[in-house]
Structure 1
């Protein structure tokens, strides 16, 4: 199967040349444009989530042999959460090559965090199916390298830090509101909004527990606060 110059350029940014490029095409196909002859990327997303998870768990385990499970878990969550996957996707221009239906495209689908995160996981699965786990892991480690180096900072307990900041500034504790939920019961996706008394708020969404998404929302709001102080 021949692929476009656009997809070849994306493969170069990704760091993997596909022997079976149809896997990449499927990984980039959103449900809004899928058909009986053009399957979407949801099954690949399911698999890629696990490949990413094992790659990150293995890397963290090897990097700090003295770390406890309680120290490793927040680092892991920081690396595999939807916001991180979407950020990596943006860095390699994944949104530019997503295959979307017209309505999804018109509504800004190429910039939507959930779509980018899901497609990033699907692309990881495509690499795994194309060349095996070792190759997929190496691509993941290359794309996540800077985040692995700074994971201690990224995984700090953002909820505690935000609550301490609010109290220090004479406010009541931050309020966390579930503003959306989607996905099957075994793999739910949450959207959480965190709000402060002064009207500032931030939103985070992704897979995982509600607490992990609350942490992500708190991290976003802390970043906003630090950017204005």
Structure 2
């Protein structure tokens, strides 16, 4: 049953691992033990940023650095990677520790996103950069085709900062209000304060950065922006 599950996943990925242990390692979360996919995730993150950056550089020869950076950020962010993982049905193949299994870790965006990066790293180690590039171009084909320079929308933190700068007001203050959960599944509650609002806005997410963005978006909504 296990081999059939892996076989189907590789069909969806469009790549069959020569050594199935590489695939199993890429699917193994750190909650399962010391032998896990963290190193592969680190490698895959670097390759993903390079390959998508290269693709955007070629697709938009007239784009400025800031536009390319925002487009790449949109393509490689955790939410996009989690969507990819769900398209490939990674969840059913993940190797998780007992705690993560009970808490629904196979559905958690951060775990799914990290696993995509680990898979990329594993393909690179086994088959090289050209194979990684080929797979990523295939996985991202529809998303890349749908992009235009008009989609380089600035994130909420940037928009809020630029709005306050235009009014010559102090920049936003972001403070961590609370951190809950185990080390591998933390939730950050962040508060965003600005001088023009008497009441701050808070948001919760699986990373400090994402919580700050959501808190900034809540402030923008209160400002009617």
Asked whether the two chains share a fold, i.e. TM above 0.5, the reply is yes
Query: Is 2:94 the counterpart of 1:98?
Result: yes
Given the two structures, how large is their TM-score scaled by the length of structure 2? Answer: 0.73
Q: What is the aligned partner in structure 2 of residue 27 from structure 1?
A: 26
1:159 is aligned to 2:139: no
RMSD: 3.7
Q: In 2, are the aligned partners of 1:162 and 1:174 still within 8 Å (CA)?
A: no
3-state SS of 1:128 partner: helix
2:40 paired residue among 36, 44, 49: 44
8 Å Cα contact 1:83-1:206 kept in structure 2: no
Long gaps (5+) in structure 1: 164-172, 182-188
1:72-128 Cα offsets, whole Å, 9 max, x none, are 111111111112111111111111110011111001100111111111100111111
Q: Which of 109, 116, 123 does residue 112 from structure 2 map onto? A: 116
Shift of 1:149: 2.7
1:15/1:139 contact within 8 Å kept? yes
- Residue in 2 that maps onto 1:185: none
Deviates more, 1:193-202 or 1:41-50: 193-202
- The reply on whether 1:11 has 2:10 as its aligned counterpart is yes
- The question of whether the paired residues in 2 share the 8 Å contact of 1:195 and 1:201 is answered with yes
Alignment of 1:153-192 (within 5 A): 154-159=151-156, 178=176, 180=179, 191=188
Q: What stretches of structure 1 move > 6 A for 4+ residues in a row?
A: 194-201, 218-221
Moved more, 24-33 or 197-206: 197-206
Structure 2 CA distance for partners of 1:218 and 1:200, relative to 1, 3 Å: closer
Asked if residue 62 in structure 1 is aligned to residue 62 in structure 2, the reply is no
Q: Which runs of 5+ in 2 are unaligned?
A: 161-170, 181-185
User: How many correspondences in the alignment?
Assistant: 202
Q: Secondary structure at the match of 2:153?
A: coil
| 1:206 to 1:199, Cα distance in 2 relative to 1, 3 A | closer
Counterparts in 2 of 1:154 and 1:219: CA distance versus 1, 3 Å: farther
CA contact (8 A) 2:41 2:115 kept: yes
